[in-house]
Amino acid sequence: MKRESDTKQKLLSTAVSLIWESSYGSISVDDICNQAGVNKGSFYYAFKSKSDLAVAAFEDHWNKKRGAMDEIFSSQVPPLERVEKYCDRIVQDQLDKFQLFGKLCGCPFASVGSELSTQDEQIRKKAHELSERTMKYLACALRDAAAEGILDIKDSVELARQVFCYAGGLIMQAKIENNPELLKCLKKGVFRLVGVNPSRTAI
């Protein structure tokens, strides 16, 4: 049982890493198995298809970062500080991957979701689900900021979606240009979007 669990975890971790570095379409089951050191029979024992592996790998990746998200968006942290820390985490994650791979990798969820949204409904739904989870964190922080009178907003859910989309767009453009400098605009752009003067925040 432990061996099966170890094999599955190797496949999950390898899938996220390869997808992040390259793309879903450019890697094969053979690539994943070779990188993970797992034979093809074991792959198909653990997962029915590459699509099933990708969905499971994304859920596994989310579960691993959930603790950090809970900490960033803790209700004990001032609302706008949560948003600030979220921006910092995005930038640091991208810079870490840049150091590791020598290129900006973007967001694996967004990359695969946009790549396969018209081809694989299972992956599209998972990418959408993970996006919604992040937006819920943002909406809660923005709602708390409004309740404290820091922000003058009527719809925290819609504003959270706008912030999420802005961040995703900036990450995508930084990836296209392979330019980490673009990420420096993230925090200022987010706070401009929510209607707070950056000088009022610890940016």
Domain boundaries, the chain: 51-198
**pLDDT score recorded for residue 197:** 66
**pLDDT score recorded for residue 202:** 44
191 Cα distance to chain centroid? 20
Nearest partner of 186 among 68, 84, 78, judged by Cα: 84
**pLDDT score recorded for residue 106:** 82
**pLDDT score recorded for residue 105:** 82
Residues 130 and 4: their CA atoms lie apart, in Å, by 26
The model carries a pTM of 0.86
Residues 47 and 4: their CA atoms lie apart, in Å, by 12
**pLDDT score recorded for residue 78:** 95
**pLDDT score recorded for residue 201:** 47
Full pLDDT tens readout for the chain, 203 residues:
556 678 889 999 888 888 777 777 778 899 999 999 999 999 999 999 988 988 998 898 899 889 999 999 999 999 999 999 999 999 999 999 899 888 888 877 777 777 776 678 888 888 889 999 999 999 999 999 999 999 999 999 999 999 999 999 999 999 999 999 999 999 999 999 999 865 444 44
Give the 3-state DSSP-derived string for 131-155, with helices as H, strands as E and coil as C.
HHHHHHHHHHHHHHHHHCCCCCCCC
Tell which CATH classification among 2.40.30.60, 3.30.70.1890, 3.90.480.20, 1.10.357.10 matches the domain 51-198.
Answer: 1.10.357.10
Residues 28 and 53: their CA atoms lie apart, in Å, by 12
